[in-house]
Amino acid sequence: MALRDLMIKDVTSLPPTASVLDAAKFMADMNVGSVIVMKDNSPSGFLTDRDIVTKVLAQGKDPKTTKISEIMVTTVVTISEDKGIFDVTKLMSARGIRRVPVVDSIGKLVGVIALDDVLILLGKEMQNIAAALRTELGMKD
């Protein structure tokens, strides 16, 4: 299955000039724990709620004046929308990440894939396999 069929297309993103307070409010409003930081329609950073806690609040910085660009992760690992689910699980495992921005052939952000999305899909597939086995073995639910 290609990632374009599984990814979340409604991506939460902010510009690097937004304040950390604005980012925290945005994440709370959207009920998400991370945002992709965008510059020129391409991912330029990644910000998580954990980044806000460890890099701003725990260090006594002012979230009103601290910009996202000051604390975001700037090494953004992306994956092409035409890659498959096993490609993204290998990437997540190798890099120790849970969310990966999905880009098109010119690097434009088109979605995001999260480990949770992969787990939900795999859970559904396991149910289908179990149902097929029950049928083949003549078992009832």
**Which tens digits make up the pLDDT trace of 61-106?**
999 999 999 999 998 999 999 999 999 999 999 999 999 999 999 8
Q: 20 is written with which tokens?
A: 């950390």
Helix (H) or strand (E) holding 48: strand 42-48
What is the number of domains present in the chain?
Answer: 1
- Looking at per-residue pLDDT, the higher value among 11 and 15 belongs to 15
Distances 1 to 25, 78, 86, 101, 138 between C-alpha atoms, Å: 35, 17, 9, 17, 30
Query: What was the pLDDT predicted at 83?
Result: 94
Q: Quickly state the pLDDT bin for 136 (edges 50, 70, 90).
A: confident
Look at residue 4 and give its three-state secondary structure. helix
Residue 141 lies in a domain: no
Tokens 């949770």 -> residue = 116
Distance CA 28, CA 88 (A): 27
Q: Is the model's pLDDT at 140 over the cut of 80?
A: no
CA angle 11, 78, 19 (to 5 degrees): 50
Residue 74 lies in a domain: yes
Percent of the chain with pLDDT over 90: 65
CB 117, CB 100: distance < 8 Å: no
Query: What was the pLDDT predicted at 141?
Result: 64
Range of the domain at 65: 3-136
Q: Is the model's pLDDT at 124 over the cut of 70?
A: yes
Torsion of CA 38, 95, 53, 116, to 10 degrees: 80
- What is the average per-residue pLDDT within 13-33? 94
Q: What is the CATH number of the domain that holds 22?
A: 3.10.580.10
